[in-house]
Amino acid sequence: MRDTRAQRLAELTYFFPAHNEAANVRGLVEEALGALPELAERFEIIIVDDGSRDETPAIADELAAAHPEVRAVHHPTNLGYGAALRSGFAAASLGYLAFTDGDRQFRVADLGRLIDRMLEPIDRVRTPDVVAGYRIKRADPPVRTLYARLYRLANRIFFGLRVRDIDCACKLFRREALEGINVESGGAFFSAELLIKLGAAGRRIVEVGVPHYPRTAGSPTGAKPQVILRAVRDFWSLRLRLWASPRRALRRGAPILG
């Protein structure tokens, strides 16, 4: 457990996307309800059901009815990972925003590592705008690790994005850092596009290592061919638009904050 004497945030929105995560969503919310009082004086939990076909929507509504800190957002159909994150950001109402995935491969208590870094000055006066987690040791099959390395290299070459674990689903944002940021992708390229545009806007991004745990229930969807192809399409769409008209490309998309 995180040291209870450590400094807490005044307020924190924690959200997670869930697509067919009936086996995980209840346990994750219970974990969050136990961990978040150690991390923030005031908090809210947002479940983003991305068009699930299992019991996820019903469980999310049940949890929201039972706990005033919990809200559920539903997509009528599966819109994609980025669209689910977008809905989480849009629904958030508090001054700091953090997310993990709904598969329980991260521990909510480990957001404390990101919070401690967020509250640590970069220089004499400035603190970070974004703290991006990176997986200390990935609990994924080797092929996914290989894809991630190639993806990181491509983003570094074509966008200058120097983040070691772009798609690590453990990130913390200062709310005002997201103001004026628009993102177009609704798929797996969402996180990269968000970081690229935050960097272009001069936001201060730092990184912290976090543990990563094996999935124990449910099925991953990130390596499906249609997910990869959508990410490739969004990658090149942004790159070509930035070459053609950088200012217009950075303005494209919907605002992150609702």
Cα distances (angstroms) measured from residue 113 to each of 8, 30, 129, 131 = 11, 20, 15, 9
**Cβ(92)–Cβ(255) under 8 Å?**
no
**Has residue 1 been placed in a domain?**
no
* Whole-model pTM over 0.85: yes
Mean pLDDT across the stretch 103-126?
93
**Has residue 179 been placed in a domain?**
yes
CATH number of the domain that residue 159 is part of: 3.90.550.10
| Nearest residue to 147 via CA among 240, 225, 82 | 225
Domain that includes residue 148, residue range: 9-255
**Cβ(18)–Cβ(47) under 8 Å?**
yes
Q: Mean pLDDT score of the chain, rounded to an integer?
A: 93
Contacts of 113 by beta carbon, 8 Å cutoff, 6+ apart: 133, 208, 209, 210
- From the CA atom positions of the chain, what is the Rg in Å? 17
- Residue 164 is predicted with a pLDDT of 94
Provide the token pair at 203. 């936001």
Provide the token pair at 163. 């983040």
CA atoms within 13 A on the CB side of 59: 21
**Has residue 2 been placed in a domain?**
no
What are 143-179's pLDDT values in tens digits?
A: 878 888 999 999 999 999 999 999 999 999 999 999 9
Which segments of the chain does DSSP mark as H helices, in order?
22-35, 56-66, 81-91, 111-118, 142-159, 190-200, 225-244, 246-251
**Has residue 24 been placed in a domain?**
yes
Q: Which of 4-13, 52-61, 68-77 has the lowest mean pLDDT?
A: 4-13
**Has residue 4 been placed in a domain?**
no
- Residue 2 is predicted with a pLDDT of 47
**Has residue 137 been placed in a domain?**
yes
What are 170-207's pLDDT values in tens digits?
A: 999 999 999 999 999 999 999 999 999 999 999 999 99
Torsion angle in degrees (nearest 10) through CA of 253, 255, 256, 258 = -140
The residue type found at 5 is R
Q: Work out how many domains the chain is built from and give that number.
A: 1
**Has residue 103 been placed in a domain?**
yes
